[in-house]
Each structure stands twice: as structure tokens, then as C-alpha cells.
Structure 1
Amino acid sequence: MGEYTLFTIVAVLGVLAIEFFWLRTGILRTAQYWLSMALVFFFQIWVDGWLTKLSDPIVIYYPDQFSGIRFPFDIPIEDFGFGFAMVTLTLLTWHKLTHRRAE
């Protein structure tokens, strides 16, 4: 397993663990969260697809460092895991900090 794949799995599981065992904000159960993730992934597909297209890549991945699975537009699937982890952790933190101030 490549480092990028391993770090993606750790990032996704880490963020989920932070939500389920520490913050417990409940945002993963809301339609607003999933709508925001759909928007993030929509734009990520277009931008990341342009950056990683195999015909003329701007960003090049070392083949041994990721799973080799690319979908769609030649995007390594690990990019979606990191996108999920990054945006989710940001939203969790924002939610927790804004609700702490309101208490």
C-alpha cells in the first residue's frame, strides 16, 4: 500500500473518530453537510480532473505511492478521501467553535 493511500485512510478514519468520539457535533447526519460535500466534490472533479489528467498532467503522482485507481478524469481516488477529511474537519471545527460561543 502506497503512502498516499495509507495517509488518506488515516485522515478519513481520524476525522470520523474525532467526530464520533470527541466532538459529536452531529453534522454528518444533516442534509446541509451532504449538500456541501456534493458541491465540494463537484468542483473538485473539474479542478482535480484538469490538474491530474494523464494526457497533460500538471500534478504528477509517483505510481508506487497510491492505489493506481483513477476515477473520473484520471483523478486518483485518494484525492477524494483527502478532500472529504479536509472539508469535514474544517466544518466540524467551525461548528464546534461557533456553538461553543453561543453557549
Structure 2
Amino acid sequence: MPEYTALAVLSVILVVLLECQVLRTGVFRTKQYWCAMAIVAFFQALVDGWLTKLSAPIVMYDPQQHLGVRFPWDIPVEDYLFGFSMVTLAILLWVRSGRT
């Protein structure tokens, strides 16, 4: 498995385990969390699509380091995994700190 893909999958696994085994905030059961994630995914697709478009890329990836699956607009699918992990971890820590 390519390195970027492996790290993206590992980041999701670690964040989900952190929530389910340690923090236990319950955010995965809330509509607010999933609504926030939908908003993040929408804007991530717009921005990431512009940054990674194959016709004129601003950000380029080593083809050997990811699966090569791009959806939509030439976005490597691994970017969505890292986005999920980053935003979810931030939300989890925010909720855990009592700032909800």
C-alpha cells in the first residue's frame, strides 16, 4: 500500500479509536457533527479540486505514494481521509474541553 494511502487510513483509524475508546464524547451520534462534516467536505472538494486539478496543478503528489484514485475534479481520495481525521480530531478535542 502506498505511504500516503497507508497514513491516511491510519489517521482515520486512530481518530475513530480515540473517540470510541478514550474520549467517548458521542459526537458521531449527533446531527450537528455530520452536518459540519458535510459542509467541510463540500468546501474541501472546491478548494482541493482547484489545488490538485491535473490540468494545472498547484499541489502535486508523487504517483507512487497514493492509490491514484481521484474523485471528483482530480482530488486524491486520501485527502478526504486526512480531512476527516483533522476536522474530527479538532471537534473531539473541542467538545472534550467543554467548549460546546
Equivalent position of 1:42 in the other structure: 42
Provide the rounded CA distance (Å) in 2 between the counterparts of 1:59 and 1:49: 10
SS in 2 for 1:54: coil
Kindly report structure 1 stretches of 4+ aligned residues shifted beyond 2 Å: none
Equivalent position of 1:73 in the other structure: 73
Q: Per-residue displacement from partner, 1:11-39 (whole Å, max 9, x unpaired)?
A: 00000000000000000010000000000
SS in 2 for 1:98: coil
Of the two, which has the highest radius of gyration? 1
Residues 90-99 or 46-55, more deviating: 90-99
Equivalent position of 1:24 in the other structure: 24
Q: Percent identity, please.
A: 55
Provide the rounded CA distance (Å) in 2 between the counterparts of 1:29 and 1:4: 29
Aligned residues: 100
Is 2:61 aligned against 1:61? yes
Shift of 1:68: 0.4
* Structure 1 letter corresponding to 2:53: K
Gaps of 5+ in 2: none
Equivalent position of 1:93 in the other structure: 93
